[in-house]
Amino acid sequence: TVGCVALDKEGKLAAGTSTGGMTNKKYGRVGDVPVIGAGTYASDVVAVSMTGWGERIMEAVSGHTVSAYMKHKPASLEEAADYLLREVLEPGEAGMIAVDRYGNMLMDMNTPGMFRGMSDSEDHREVAIWK
């Protein structure tokens, strides 16, 4: 699975995810990626792309959970990610990337690793694989 979230100069947020699914998947199994609100979601508050165990990410309605938590709690992106990855999902189940409307960037996971990278107009640039 690959994903990207972005905030542009007009302040618009977008999220995208693409995947080959799960090795040996059977008979039309659909994972979280194409389920809007689960593996891929963008609102006026945050853009989110998930990766990991699709069934668990769908059951947690993950992308929308992050956006709603930020809006209604209210909470920061970091607090919302922490809630999703450490209170809702179990260890080893998922990784997520997100960017909020202020340009705060997040790469977080409860798995041992995630191929990831981030960059912004203030020259914060990072590529990583493990925790």
Partner 1 sequence: KDWALVIHGGAGVISQDMADSVRQAYRADLGEALSVGEEILKGGGSSLDAVEQVITFLEDNPRFNAGKGAVFTHDGGHELDAAIMAGDSRTAGAVTGIRTVKNPISLARMVMEHSEHVMFAGEGAERYADERDVERVNQDYFYTERRYRAWRRAIKEDEAQSSVLGDKDRSPAPAPSEGGDRKFG
Report the length, in residues, of the chain: 131
Applying CB under 8 A, does 65 fall inside the site for partner 1? no
- Work out how close the CB of 73 gets to partner 1 at its nearest, in angstroms, rounded to a whole number: 18
Q: Segment 99-118, which members bind partner 1 (CB under 8 A)? A: 99, 101-107, 109, 111-118
Q: CA 65 to CA 98: how far, in whole Å?
A: 12
Question: Does the active-site annotation cover 1?
Answer: yes
In the set 1, 17, 40, 65, the catalytic residue is 1
Applying CB under 8 A, does 86 fall inside the site for partner 1? no
Applying CB under 8 A, does 62 fall inside the site for partner 1? no
CA–CA distance from 124 to each of 11, 35, 73, 82, 100 (Å)?
A: 18, 31, 28, 22, 15
Q: Could you give phi then psi for residue 48, rounded to 5 degrees? A: -135, 140
Q: CA 115 to CA 129: how far, in whole Å?
A: 5
Applying CB under 8 A, does 26 fall inside the site for partner 1? yes
Applying CB under 8 A, does 3 fall inside the site for partner 1? yes
Using CB under 8 A, which of 20, 74, 86, 91 touches partner 1? 20
Burial (Cβ within 10 Å: 0-12, 13-18, ≥19) of residue 74: exposed
- Work out how close the CB of 20 gets to partner 1 at its nearest, in angstroms, rounded to a whole number: 2
- Work out how close the CB of 90 gets to partner 1 at its nearest, in angstroms, rounded to a whole number: 14
Q: Which residues are catalytic?
A: 1
